[in-house]
Amino acid sequence: NDSYKEYYSKKFGYTTTAIMTSRGCPFSCDFCSKPVFGNEFRARTASNVVDEIEEVISLGYSRIWFADDCFTLNRDRLMGICDEIINRGLKIGWECLSRVDTLDSETADKMKQAGCLRMFFGIESGNDSILAIMKKQITTTKAHDAVQLCKKKGITAGAFFILGYPGENGKTILDTVRFASSLPLDYLSFTLPYPIPGTPLFERLS
C-alpha cells in the first residue's frame, strides 16, 4: 500500500482508498451504466463494512472513498454503518456518492458525526423538463435543498452535470450552467452525454 499512499499524499495532501459496500441500483436513469451491476440492490452488513474500515485504518489510510453507486440509498443500513463507526470510536474521514432525494437532516447529522467530509450528487441538469427526460426522478428544488443541507451541516458537496442531452436547447443548457453556479459546491463537473451500450439512451440513439 505504500506506493498508493505516497501517490495520494502528494496529489491531495492525504491518503485515501476505496471501499465498495453495495452493488445495484433500483432507479432507472436514462443514461446510467447500471447494466454493469443490475437493478437489484445487494449490500454488505454494517458490521462487515466497518470491519473493513478498521483494516483500512490499520494500513495507514486517513480517508475513504465509498465507491457505491449510491451509498445513501438504504437509510437504515447507512445509519447502522454510521452508528458502528461511532460506537467503535473510529476516526477517519470519508466521502460518498448520494442522491438528492435520499438525504434528510437527521441522516446528514449522523453522517457528519461518523466522519463524512463530502457528498457527491448526480444532479445532471438545472432544468426540470430535462431531468424528466433523463428519468432522474428528482427536481431542481430537491437538488438545491440537499446541497444547502450539506452546507448547513458542515459537509462539503460536489455535483455532476450533463450538458447537451438529447432534447436540450440553448436555454436548458444555460439553465443548468446558471443553476450549478448558484449552488455552494466545492466540486463541479460538466460532461457531455455518452450513450453507454445497454442503456435506454444508447437504444434511443442507435
Residues 108 and 95: their CA atoms lie apart, in Å, by 13
pLDDT in tens, 46-61: 999 999 999 999 999 9
- pTM listed for this prediction: 0.93
Instruction: Give percent of the chain with pLDDT exceeding 70.
Output: 98
C-alpha gyration radius of the chain = 18
pLDDT in tens, 38-95: 678 899 999 999 999 999 999 999 999 999 999 999 999 999 999 999 999 999 999 9
For 134, residues 6+ apart whose C-beta sits below 8 A from its C-beta are: 29, 30, 31, 124, 125, 162, 165
The mean pLDDT value of the chain amounts to 95
